[in-house]
Amino acid sequence: MEENKERKTKEKKLQKKVFLILFLLFFMCIAAFCGFFWYSLSPVNKKYEETHDFIIESGWGKSKIADELESKGLIRNGFIFKVYVKLAKSKTFFSGTYSLSPSMSVNEIIKVITSGNSKENMQKTITFVEGKRFPYYVKKLCDELGFEENDVYTLTSSETYLKSLIEKYWFITEEVLKKDLYYPLEGYLFPDTYSFKQSSTIEEAIDVMLAGMDAKLSIYKEEIAMSEYSIHGLLTLASMVELEAVTAEDRAIVAGIFINRLHGNIPLGSDVTTYYAVKKEMIESLTNSDLNQCNAYNTRGTCAISGLPVGPMCASSYSSIVAAIEPEKNDYYFFVADIHNKIYPTKTSTEHDQIINDLKNKNIWPK
């Protein structure tokens, strides 16, 4: 009897030991798996500083994405990624191009590829300043969206492309096909702050800005239709007003003066047309040769054209466009501006000269 009790006692002790060993082994396995699991979710290389494009093709499932991530060295273990995605009940993975890095954890990668903010959809905000010439817009687009300048100039001077714009936008007419234009779309890209997709093509980026002009001009569609000048002519007039005056009030006055001179068949005599004609910046000096250069833009000198220049000379602000469409009715034919950009309108050349002498005496005449 005692032997049986002793044997049973030993068996129980052995069972407890076996159970304890099995429990410890099980716990160690669980701990090891958990450690491996969380290790597999950690960054492949925390010190890696670069990012790489990872493309998710349309129709790829989460399993395919996991395999591709592992093959590209962006995650440690594709199987663990799949398990984690299932346990976390992750949202839809959107197709597109994403910037990923081995320094990102699985959770960080998932946040990116479930956001939908692929390179194709990411927005770039760009602000364009009024009063600038077309090359400024080209450079800005190229710097911000990665275009090549030659590609932009080639496209925007293509007759085929321009004709497609004529069909698409009511305010673009055959006048943009004039051979004397330096840049056919000069003055047509409205200066504003725009959001572009980072994956935008040149055509798409131009469309965004033309849509901006469409929105502004559409407000005055009836007035434009009733105007004695074409839309191209109004944008040309607006560009002159933009560069000659600063305030909305002065711009309306200057527009009225230019209209009076046009009605009187008097050359507009605007320096800004000469600067553009000879491709000089307005901070430079004009020579007699510049003033007398025969050109479809130049309204000064011996070769001055008698009407509006062949096209716009800059991108005009909204107030300049409105001034061109609704100029102030006045009986002035001349104006000058002082160093503070204040406009002095006059009716005769004698008054005009008197104003200039007065400004010079007061040391506020632009040099």
Last residue of a domain, which of 177, 193, 218?
218
Domain presence at residue 23? no
Domain presence at residue 39? no
Domain range for 259 = 221-361
CA distance 289 to 294: 10
Q: What are phi and psi of 336, to 5 degrees?
A: -135, 165
Domain holding 109: CATH number? 3.30.1490.480
User: 239 and 199 in one domain?
Assistant: no
**pLDDT by residue, tens only, the chain of 367 residues:** 555 666 666 666 666 665 666 566 666 656 556 577 678 778 989 888 888 899 999 889 888 998 999 999 999 998 888 888 888 776 788 888 888 999 999 889 888 888 878 877 778 899 999 999 999 999 999 999 999 999 999 999 999 999 999 999 999 999 999 999 999 999 999 999 999 988 899 999 999 999 999 999 999 999 999 999 999 999 999 999 999 999 999 999 999 999 999 999 999 999 999 999 999 998 899 999 999 999 999 999 898 998 999 999 999 999 999 999 999 999 999 999 999 999 999 999 999 999 999 999 999 988 7
User: 77 and 169 in one domain?
Assistant: no
User: 297 and 254 in one domain?
Assistant: yes
User: 230 and 214 in one domain?
Assistant: no
Q: What are phi and psi of 127, to 5 degrees?
A: -105, 130
First vs last C-alpha separation in the chain:
126
Which pLDDT does position 311 carry in this prediction? 98
* Residues sharing a CB contact under 8 Å with residue 50, sequence separation 6 or more, in sequence order: 101
Find the helix or strand (DSSP H, E) in which 340 lies.
none
CA distance 352 to 355: 5
Domain presence at residue 32? no
**Residue in 230, 245, 221, 364 with CA at minimum distance from that of residue 316:** 245
Which pLDDT does position 93 carry in this prediction? 86
Which pLDDT does position 211 carry in this prediction? 97
User: 250 and 347 in one domain?
Assistant: yes
User: 294 and 184 in one domain?
Assistant: no
* Residues sharing a CB contact under 8 Å with residue 147, sequence separation 6 or more, in sequence order: 141, 202, 205
* Residues sharing a CB contact under 8 Å with residue 52, sequence separation 6 or more, in sequence order: 72, 74, 99, 100, 101
User: 159 and 171 in one domain?
Assistant: yes
Domain presence at residue 33? no
Domain presence at residue 4? no
* Residues sharing a CB contact under 8 Å with residue 123, sequence separation 6 or more, in sequence order: 195, 196, 197, 198
Which pLDDT does position 95 carry in this prediction? 87
Which pLDDT does position 89 carry in this prediction? 74
Q: How many structural domains compose the chain?
A: 3
CA distance 213 to 217: 6
User: 266 and 203 in one domain?
Assistant: no
User: 344 and 227 in one domain?
Assistant: yes
**Residue in 303, 228, 223 with CA at minimum distance from that of residue 263:** 228
Q: Where are the beta strands (DSSP E) in the chain?
A: 52-56, 96-100, 123-127, 193-197, 334-337, 343-346
**Burial of 104 (C-beta count, 10 Å sphere; 0-12/13-18/19+):** buried
Neighbours of 268 (CB within 10 A): 22
* Residues sharing a CB contact under 8 Å with residue 60, sequence separation 6 or more, in sequence order: 68, 93, 95
